[in-house]
Amino acid sequence: MVTIDSRFNGPTHSGNGGYVCGLIAAQLPETSPVTTPSTSTLRQPPPLDTALAWEHDGDEVRLVTAGGALIGESAPGSFSREAPAAPSAEQAAAGAAAYPGHSGHPFSTCFTCGPDRADGDGLRVFTGPVAPGSTTTAAPWTAHRDLLDAHGVLPTEIIWAAIDCAGGWTADFTVHPTVLGRMTAQVLRIPEIGESCTVTGVLDRQEGRKFLTSTALHADGELLARAEQVWIEIDPAAF
């Protein structure tokens, strides 16, 4: 059994997409999300503070409700695009300064990018456009020690969360409110607490209500984690 604590919300009443996708991927049998790309798909908004269960079937793992309804699933995955390049310090600073979420945010308490979350409680990854009109986002980020688990380890699902919303902000949540539908991610190295990192996102293309994006986490030019995502435009009132 597993419960998604309300701390790890995205929309107010459901789980943060990147966090939940990483949580499911971490249950894959005989694979490590630190070295292996995994694809997680969310089938419905993940409920908070609710007892859920795991189902394993070969190389796939599913997160289900007590009644058997499918919340999400994960399996080994692969990438179709190059990882975004590391932004310069100037681009990361410009992106943070231009973050649209400070003046308007459909989910202002989001664990990843909510400006209403305190440092160490939320991740406070504030990625904005690196230049006016750009669909590439970036921001600096440093992992806080309050993110460590009971064993003093930074869980991989925290890294999935850290590289989540930078993709959604490439289309600007204030213009196109979206939620994460699918995420393929790989964590190559867990950053040290206090290590200076950058998060970046790139909009690859739009297909109707779907936005296909790529994100990455770097430290001093080293690629620490990367993802490819599918975001789906929604009515925020439904979440």
**Across the chain, what does the average pLDDT equal?**
95
Mean predicted confidence (pLDDT) in 214-231: 98
pLDDT of residue 222: 98
Mean predicted confidence (pLDDT) in 124-131: 98
Cα–Cα distance measured from residue 150 to residue 193, given in angstroms and rounded to the nearest whole number: 15
Mean predicted confidence (pLDDT) in 180-207: 97
Cα–Cα distance measured from residue 25 to residue 47, given in angstroms and rounded to the nearest whole number: 17
**What amino acid is encoded at 139 in this protein?**
A
Residue 154: DSSP 8-state = -
SS3 helix, strand, coil % of the chain, rounded to 5? 15, 35, 50
pLDDT of residue 33: 66
Q: HSE of 236 in the Cβ direction (CA atoms, 13 Å)?
A: 15
The structure's pTM equals: 0.96
Compute, in degrees rounded to 10, the torsion defined by CA atoms 25, 26, 30, 32.
Answer: 100
Residue whose structure tokens are 């390049």: 85
Convert the pLDDT of each residue in 52-80 to its tens digit. Answer: 999 999 999 999 999 999 999 999 999 99
Convert the pLDDT of each residue in 128-176 to its tens digit. Answer: 999 999 999 999 999 999 999 999 999 999 999 999 999 999 999 989 9
pLDDT of residue 35: 76
% of the chain exceeding 70 in pLDDT? 98
**Closest among 135, 133, 134, 138 to 99, alpha carbons compared:** 138
pLDDT of residue 29: 79
CA distance between the termini of the chain: 24
pLDDT of residue 36: 87
Residue-wise burial string across 165-181, b where 16 or more C-beta atoms lie within 10 A, e elsewhere: bbbbbbbbbeebbbbbb
Inter-CA distances, 66 with 47, 54, 58, 115, Å: 12, 10, 21, 33
